[in-house]
Amino acid sequence: MANKKIIITIDGWSSCGKSTLAKQLARELGYVYIDSGAMYRAITLYFLRNHTNWNNHDDVIDALQHIKLEFQANHKNGSSEMYLNGENVEYVIRDLVVAEKVSEIAAIKEVREFAVKQQQAMGAGKGIVMDGRDIGTVVFPNAELKLFMTADNEVRVKRRYHELYEKNPNVTMDEVRQNLEHRDYIDSHREVSPLRKAEDAIVLDNTTLTPKEQLALALSWVSEKPGEL
């Protein structure tokens, strides 16, 4: 049977391993991986650097007209990296300064329309794994496989803390915990496309799963889709 490429969406709370799984799946299946959160982070970085008043509608519209987002492959490690107006911002968008503001900016209707339009265009050819908060509900409501990821809160805090600590040893566990709680609250309570599980999404709780185990589980769900694998 010829392989039919599908769209896989992965939504869920902050720091529960969405991108790890999305990358694993993309590699296994030969699909494109798109980190939609990186787009909101890059927009946030632009607003911060340019002192955009994001509470002012006209300023937001004007700023968005000056933002060009692209994903480019890093040929050394094969990963896909975020470029903002031609500059590689993959590293700097992971900073806590960006993380502190990104949920506020991602809640703005015009910002979401700007990002969602580009995300939908990226999925036109299928064969894509995209992770985020509204991918199964808004960006690709007809996706063939939708996952909703979750994990124990403290496990998520520890995972994100270890990631951030490598870049900045001054970061504290409390700062990370507060940031995760703050983002989860805003992401799930905003008016436009709040984080929620799509009705047809499969819940994946990876609190006690190793990356290898979660990949095996996800691949078993992919193999249930007609024509895939």
Count the helix, strand and coil residues of the chain and give each as a percent rounded to the nearest 5.
Answer: 50, 15, 35
Which x/- pattern, by CB under 6 A, does the window 76-115 give for ligand DC?
--------------------------xx--x---------
Residue span binding ligand DC (CB under 6 A) among the ranges 47-55, 65-73, 127-135, 197-205: 127-135
Of the residues 33, 40, 54, 161, which one makes contact with ligand DC according to CB under 6 A: 40
| Under rule CB under 6 A, residue 132 binds ligand DC | yes
Q: How far is the CB of 47 from ligand DC (least distance, A)?
A: 13
Joined together, the tokens standing for residue 9 give 């969406």
Nearest CB to ligand DC, comparing residues 38 and 228: 38
Residue 128 host element (H or E):
strand 128-132
| Under rule CB under 6 A, residue 12 binds ligand DC | no
Residue span binding ligand DC (CB under 6 A) among the ranges 24-32, 68-76, 132-140, 142-150: 132-140
CA distance 194 to 192: 6
Please tell me the total number of residues recorded for the chain in this structure: 229
Which residues, numbered 175-204, are part of the site for ligand DC (CB under 6 A)?
Answer: 183, 187
| Under rule CB under 6 A, residue 135 binds ligand DC | yes
Residue span binding ligand DC (CB under 6 A) among the ranges 33-41, 57-65, 74-82, 83-91: 33-41
Read out DSSP for 18-71? HHHHHHHHHHHHT-EEEEHHHHHHHHHHHHHHTT--TTSHHHHHHHHTT--EEE
Work out whether strand 32-35 and strand 128-132 pair parallel, antiparallel, or are unpaired: parallel
| Under rule CB under 6 A, residue 37 binds ligand DC | yes
Q: How far is the CB of 167 from ligand DC (least distance, A)?
A: 15
